Amino acid sequence: LRAENERIGSRVIPAAARNGGIASETAAGGQRRAVASAEDRAERRERHEAALASFMRSGNPEDLVVERASHSVDNDPSGGYLAPMDVNFTIMQMQRDVSPMRRLARVVPTSADAYAHPVSKGGTEAGWVAEKDDRPETEGPELGLLTIPSNELYAQPAATQKLIDDARSNVAVWLESEIATTFAEKEGAAYISGDGNGKPMGILSIPIVAERDSARAWGKFEYIPTGSSGAFPTAKVEPLVDLVFRLKAGYRRNARWLMNSTTAATIAKFKDENDNLIWRQSFDAATPSTLLGYPVEFDENMPDIGADAHAVAFGDFQRGYIITDRMDVRLLRDPYTKKGFVLFYATKRVGGSPDDTQAIKFLKFSAS
């Protein structure tokens, strides 16, 4: 028996070694594929940026065609030409870096002029029954339709002819950055305070009332008063704690704070009853600071602390706000309007609207 065990063992051990070798080869293969994929992406990005730079210099729309199978030139020059795919992707990524709401909200691509989103204005009733009991019809939810129109946003950066002609200048990267920053700043302001008239509807532009979820009409956000007009009360931490727990537990799992830097500077100094700061500062740019255990996002479009200001928001913005992207960026080159300069007229269509109004709560700096 011992001899048999040794004989079997001599077969098993090499097999295990072979399996380990296979696993190592598989891991190495995965790493090689990941490196190759990253190299492919970098190479594709270089081609697309080179195509954009060539178009900027020549004005020939054919220069924008990088992959014929996946890209065609628009035949209507008055509407502009679609930017190469990777250029569009880069602009969108830059917008996410600049605009907090682009990072927080649900972003939906759409091919329609308006995005129609069904919403439930009330819960569906349910009941318990035994196996042979009758099952009477329950109350159904009241359904509504949230329609988000697409609004045109434009930017028109200008470059000198000398800059464009300089082969050493990376004009494509410059144009990407100019468009992305301008779009992100305009969009970001609209997502907070836009009135919905030719622009997105902002989170501060629909009614914000004191009624709780169970009593509040659909389409209205809720606020918690600080108890002091234009300021925090003596017990500074209490309104913040109240705001956290006024949000239902299901929304708190993905909740974030939203405020501007001035408001954050005030709150970051608050301490609990044990003299501990309730703010946990992050020293890693990729990791947000936390307040009462929840991540904080900074949006300078949020109002400062003041009388009746809704200066602090808390909630699940993925469920509380929708952004719609109608189409990619289009470019129109104009070397005639301003002598010595070339204007690049960039447009895109975007929409935005509050969605689930139970998902976000606000702190209002008021007595009641």
pLDDT in tens, the chain (368 residues): 455 544 444 444 444 444 555 545 555 555 545 545 666 777 777 787 887 888 888 777 777 765 543 444 444 455 567 776 667 777 888 888 888 999 999 999 998 899 998 887 765 556 677 776 666 665 656 678 899 999 999 999 999 988 888 866 788 888 888 999 999 999 999 999 999 999 999 999 999 999 999 999 999 999 999 999 999 999 999 999 999 999 999 999 999 999 999 999 999 999 999 999 999 999 998 899 999 999 999 999 999 999 999 999 999 999 999 999 987 888 888 998 998 899 999 999 999 999 999 999 999 999 99
d(CA 334, CA 339): 10
Picking from 262, 266, 354, the residue whose alpha carbon sits closest to that of residue 302 is: 262
* pLDDT tens for each residue of 104-160: 999 999 988 999 988 877 655 566 777 766 666 656 566 788 999 999 999 999 999
What is the structure's pLDDT at 167?
62
Reported residue count of the chain is: 368
The tokens for 170 are 């990376």
* pLDDT tens for each residue of 87-105: 777 788 888 888 899 999 9
d(CA 291, CA 267): 9
148 φ, ψ (degrees, to nearest 5)? -115, 110
Distances (CA, A) of 4 to 1, 8, 16, 40, 91: 5, 6, 18, 53, 68
What is the structure's pLDDT at 327?
74
What is the structure's pLDDT at 315?
99
Say if CB 102 and CB 95 are below 8 A apart. Answer: yes
d(CA 350, CA 323): 7
